[in-house]
């Protein structure tokens, strides 16, 4: 890395204040690069990944500017959009409050319309209670001078619910917070500490009427309220944000997998041992060996040392069994994020042409991927950290701190439970449309077509054991298995829901609550269908573009599918579901595991090239253990130079406390010396 300001290897030694100042420096450099090279807005996100950690620029580019693009009308875009794209103003997205996050419709910040404010009417913005304080918006604490504010629109006493506003929070020149606006950073977090997540309390602030974004909703000077198009687009920023979050999940996991696989290839532990259990000792040892071992205890007899050198940790099947499925998942999530991005771009063109048929599809797609990918990403990164052994617990190993910084992605902009309820309801709707209305498809949700093609009345017979070995290598069978299992979950959950409705005599929130666990399982099952579909699509493209690469990724694809079918990536599901769905025979787990073991062996020679193929630079991995050149132990030793405790040989703690712990008499001697010392003489008045 030639630019020292983009180095990240000293981040782990910094205080919170130093970390934020460094984020500001990196933000300045990022904007300088964008301006000097005229980098288009849509090409900036990959560059932001190279910053090494999230900072205020991310919220500006992922939430603030896209909201202006999609929700501001043409005149409003003329006021603010170009300034936002050029970073002449810095904005964020202020929606979450102390007591309301996922339930957007429950936010309490108010925007009351007053016709006599300004020349054209205006809004009286107020935080009515402590519970309504905006809390968590990234960049709001110290960096941004404006935001998209979500507040409840109230006109002549009527509440129209949350709407977006352009809202200035700091002076354009001095950066001081404006009158009536109290801004704070909310404090240190487990990770993500380059970001100044903020709190905002608003006390009776007035803004012009046209500061409400009016592409899809218009409020006239007389207070007349009317919709233009689909008002669901008011929450379109959340769809885009969830897309961006899920698109980065595979890459975050890939960083952890890269460091872990490289380190596992360098690290050597134990010899490849030949295990000899007690009863078999006589069969494996010759007479000389028996005599040599006769004096040793039974425990030492269990393992016969090999003459070979210590083995690479990556050669152990137990290590492969943990890491390689995470490698497969990283590719699956990455490909899914890319394909979802293409679908969103196509849908956005329709939205801008006032065609909203793709809204439901985009909501289901981005919500599913955001909900599942972020949870699996976080779990996978922690699995990787644990696979790095004791050294993996060091900040310098990189994976732990990166895991903590990525961890909030599983929560913000909709956590798994909340999003799974929304996704699950759409899946239930699809089942209902098929079973109760006889529909064979829904063009508004093409990703759910496999539900309409499923016949729950048709008996599902599992393959015979003799057929299973070959089927586990058949991609069509693997994809069909994931869909059949998902449909089994969907249709049985729908049946459970109908039974609850019949039992309670009505359909309501309480009825839905009885199947929320099922909705969570449905969301996982649907996500695996999406991952496999998108992975297979990319594999098909590669078979033409790069057959050699495709031949290796084919193994990775199979391992992904079989991992879902064996123990799965989430807490539930796995083999039992596939047996219940009639996809696998009840006695087929041995064959399944045997195929997985073979795939681990086949992938092993390609493991390091596969992670190198991500082309993640060392400065971005920020891991002494995951270096491309393999200089693991030298780098680990050198990294301790950054530790502030190593600035001196004898620490301040010794002089203040440890010496008295070791030599308690010194404290007594110092006290005695202080008592014996003559008191300082007083200076006579008038003398210097």
Residue 297 pLDDT more than 70?
Answer: no
pLDDT in tens, 381-423: 999 999 999 999 998 898 998 998 888 888 888 888 999 999 9
Can you give the pLDDT at residue 679?
Answer: 76
In which residue ranges of the chain is CATH 1.20.140.10 found? 244-351+359-613
pLDDT in tens, 342-355: 999 999 888 878 78
Can you give the pLDDT at residue 192?
Answer: 82
Torsion of CA 594, 596, 597, 603, to 10 degrees: 150
Which among 44-53, 472-481, 496-505, 644-653 has the top mean pLDDT?
Answer: 472-481
Report the C-alpha gap between 491 and 274 in whole angstroms. 49
Residue 430 pLDDT more than 90?
Answer: yes
DSSP string, 285-309: --HHHHHHHTTS-HHHHTEE--SSP
Tell me the backbone φ, ψ of residue 662, rounded to 5 degrees: -80, -35
DSSP H helices, 356-415, are 359-387, 399-406
Q: What is the mean pLDDT of the chain?
A: 89
Largest CA distance in the chain: 110
Residue 295 pLDDT more than 80?
Answer: no
Residue 8 pLDDT more than 80?
Answer: no
Q: Inter-axis angle of helices 416-437 and 516-545, to 10 degrees?
A: 90
Quickly state the pLDDT bin for 276 (edges 50, 70, 90). Answer: very low
Cα-trace Rg, the chain: 31
Strand extents, DSSP E, 471-554: none
Beta-bridge partners for 123:
113, 207
Report the C-alpha gap between 509 and 612 in whole angstroms. 49
Instruction: Please choose, from the candidates 66, 77, 82, 23, the residue with its C-alpha nearest in 3D space to the C-alpha of residue 413.
Output: 66
* 374 in a known ligand binding site: no
Quickly state the pLDDT bin for 282 (edges 50, 70, 90). Answer: very low
DSSP structure class, residue 210: G
pLDDT in tens, 39-80: 999 899 888 877 877 889 989 999 999 999 989 999 999 999
Instruction: Please choose, from the candidates 330, 323, 338, 343, the residue with its C-alpha nearest in 3D space to the C-alpha of residue 249.
Output: 330
Cβ atoms 170, 144 nearer than 8 A: yes
Residue 218 pLDDT more than 50?
Answer: yes
Calculate what percentage of the chain has a pLDDT beyond 90.
67
Can you give the pLDDT at residue 287?
Answer: 57
pLDDT in tens, 226-249: 998 776 676 677 888 899 899 999
pTM, two decimal places:
0.86
Dig out the tokens for 224 from the structure: 């007349």
pLDDT in tens, 176-193: 999 999 999 999 888 888
Dig out the tokens for 248 from the structure: 């980065």
Can you give the pLDDT at residue 235?
Answer: 65
Quickly state the pLDDT bin for 317 (edges 50, 70, 90). Answer: very high
Cβ atoms 530, 548 nearer than 8 A: no
In which residue ranges of the chain is CATH 2.40.110.10 found? 16-229
Residues 6+ apart with CB under 8 A from 183: 140, 141, 142, 169, 170, 177, 198, 199, 200
Torsion of CA 186, 192, 196, 197, to 10 degrees: -50
pLDDT in tens, 81-91: 999 999 999 99
Dig out the tokens for 32 from the structure: 């300088």
Tell me the backbone φ, ψ of residue 642, rounded to 5 degrees: -80, -15
Cβ atoms 178, 169 nearer than 8 A: yes
* Number of residues assigned to the chain: 688
Can you give the pLDDT at residue 310?
Answer: 79
HSE (side-chain half, CA atoms, 13 Å) at 683: 4
* 127 in a known ligand binding site: no
**If you average pLDDT over residues 271-279, what whole number do you get?**
49
Residue 660 pLDDT more than 70?
Answer: yes
Domain covering 244-351+359-613, topology: Butyryl-CoA Dehydrogenase, subunit A; domain 3 (1.20.140)
Residue 685 pLDDT more than 60?
Answer: no
Beta-bridge partners for 202:
181
Residue 277 pLDDT more than 50?
Answer: no
Beta-bridge partners for 113:
123
Residue 291 pLDDT more than 60?
Answer: no
Quickly state the pLDDT bin for 286 (edges 50, 70, 90). Answer: low
**If you average pLDDT over residues 316-333, what whole number do you get?**
96
Can you give the pLDDT at residue 279?
Answer: 39
Q: Could you give the 3-state DSSP secondary structure of residue 149?
A: strand
Going across the sheet that includes 134-135, the strands are 134-135, 198-202, 181-185
Can you give the pLDDT at residue 228?
Answer: 86
Cβ atoms 202, 177 nearer than 8 A: no
Cβ atoms 367, 415 nearer than 8 A: no
> For residue 551, what are the CA distances in angstroms to 481, 546, 554?
22, 9, 5
Assign domain 16-229 to its CATH architecture. Answer: Beta Barrel (2.40)
Cβ atoms 258, 614 nearer than 8 A: yes
Can you give the pLDDT at residue 683?
Answer: 61
- Please indicate whether residue 226 or residue 678 has the higher confidence score (pLDDT): 226
**If you average pLDDT over residues 81-102, what whole number do you get?**
92
HSE (side-chain half, CA atoms, 13 Å) at 109: 31
Quickly state the pLDDT bin for 536 (edges 50, 70, 90). Answer: very high
Calculate what percentage of the chain has a pLDDT beyond 70.
92
Instruction: Show which residues are catalytic.
Output: 413
Can you give the pLDDT at residue 82?
Answer: 96
Residue 369 pLDDT more than 90?
Answer: yes
């Amino acid at each position: 890395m030639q630019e020292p300001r983009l180095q990240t290897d000293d981040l782990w030694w910094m205080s919170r204040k130093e970390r934020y100042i460094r984020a500001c420096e990196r933000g300045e450099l990022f904007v300088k690069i964008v301006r000097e090279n005229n980098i288009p807005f849509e090409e900036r996100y990959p560059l932001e990944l190279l910053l090494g950690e999230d900072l205020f620029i991310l919220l500006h580019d992922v939430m603030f500017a896209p909201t202006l693009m999609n929700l501001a009308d043409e005149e409003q875009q003329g006021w603010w959009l170009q300034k936002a794209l050029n970073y002449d103003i810095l904005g964020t997205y202020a929606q979450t409050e102390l007591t309301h996050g996922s339930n957007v419709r429950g936010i309490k910040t108010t925007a009351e319309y007053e016709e006599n404010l300004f020349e054209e009417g205006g809004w009286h913005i107020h935080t009515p209670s402590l519970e309504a304080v905006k809390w968590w918006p990234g960049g709001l604490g110290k960096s941004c001078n404006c935001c998209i504010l979500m507040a409840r629109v109230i006109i002549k006493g009527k509440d129209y619910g949350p709407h977006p506003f352009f809202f200035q929070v700091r002076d354009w020149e001095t950066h001081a917070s404006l009158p009536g606006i109290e801004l704070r950073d909310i404090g240190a977090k487990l990770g993500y500490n380059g970001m100044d997540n903020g709190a905002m309390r608003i006390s009776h602030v007035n803004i012009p009427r046209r500061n409400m974004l009016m592409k899809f909703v218009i409020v006239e000077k007389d207070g007349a309220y009317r919709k233009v198009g689909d008002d669901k687009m008011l929450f379109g920023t959340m769809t885009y944000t969830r897309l961006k979050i899920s698109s980065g999940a595979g890459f975050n996991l890939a960083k952890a997998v890269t460091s872990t696989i490289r380190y596992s290839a360098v690290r050597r532990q134990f010899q490849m041992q030949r295990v000899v259990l007690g009863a078999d000792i006589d069969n494996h040892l010759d007479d000389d060996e028996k005599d040599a071992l006769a004096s040793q205890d039974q425990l030492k007899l269990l393992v016969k040392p090999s003459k070979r050198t210590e083995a690479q940790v990556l050669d152990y099947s137990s290590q492969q069994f943990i890491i390689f499925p995470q490698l497969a998942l990283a590719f699956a999530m990455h490909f899914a994020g890319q394909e979802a991005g293409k679908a969103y771009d196509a849908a956005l063109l329709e939205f801008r042409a006032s065609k909203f048929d793709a809204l439901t599809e985009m909501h289901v797609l981005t919500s599913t991927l955001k909900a599942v990918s972020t949870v699996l990403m976080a779990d996978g990164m922690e699995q990787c950290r644990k696979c790095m052994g004791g050294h993996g617990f060091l900040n310098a190993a990189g994976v732990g701190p990166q895991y903590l910084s990525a961890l909030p992605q599983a929560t913000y902009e909709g956590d798994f439970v909340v999003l799974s309820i929304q996704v699950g309801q759409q899946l239930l709707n699809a089942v209902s449309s098929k079973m109760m209305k006889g529909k064979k498809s829904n063009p508004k949700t093409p990703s759910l077509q496999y539900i309409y093609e499923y016949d729950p009345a048709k008996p599902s017979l599992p393959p015979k054991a003799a057929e299973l070995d070959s089927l586990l290598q058949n991609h069509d069978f693997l994809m069909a298995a994931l869909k059949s299992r998902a449909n089994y979950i969907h249709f049985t959950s729908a049946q459970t829901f109908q039974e609850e409705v019949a039992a309670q005599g009505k359909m309501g929130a309480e009825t839905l609550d009885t199947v929320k666990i099922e909705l969570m399982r449905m969301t996982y099952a649907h996500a695996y269908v999406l991952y496999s579909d998108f992975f297979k699509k990319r594999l098909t493209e590669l078979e033409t573009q790069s057959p050699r690469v495709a031949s290796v990724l084919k193994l990775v694809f199979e391992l992904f599918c079989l991992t879902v079918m064996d123990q799965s990536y989430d807490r539930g599901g796995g083999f039992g579901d596939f047996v219940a769905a009639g996809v696998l025979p009840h006695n087929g787990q041995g064959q399944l595991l045997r195929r997985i073991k073979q795939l681990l062996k086949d992938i092993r020679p390609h493991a390091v090239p596969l992670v190198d193929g991500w082309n993640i630079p060392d400065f971005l991995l920020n891991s002494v253990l995951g270096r491309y050149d393999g200089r693991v132990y030298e780098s680990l030793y050198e990294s301790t130079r950054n530790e502030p405790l190593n600035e001196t040989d004898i620490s301040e703690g010794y002089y203040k406390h440890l010496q008295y712990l070791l030599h308690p008499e010194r404290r007594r001697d110092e006290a005695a010396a202080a008592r014996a010392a003559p008191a300082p003489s007083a200076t006579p008045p008038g003398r210097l």
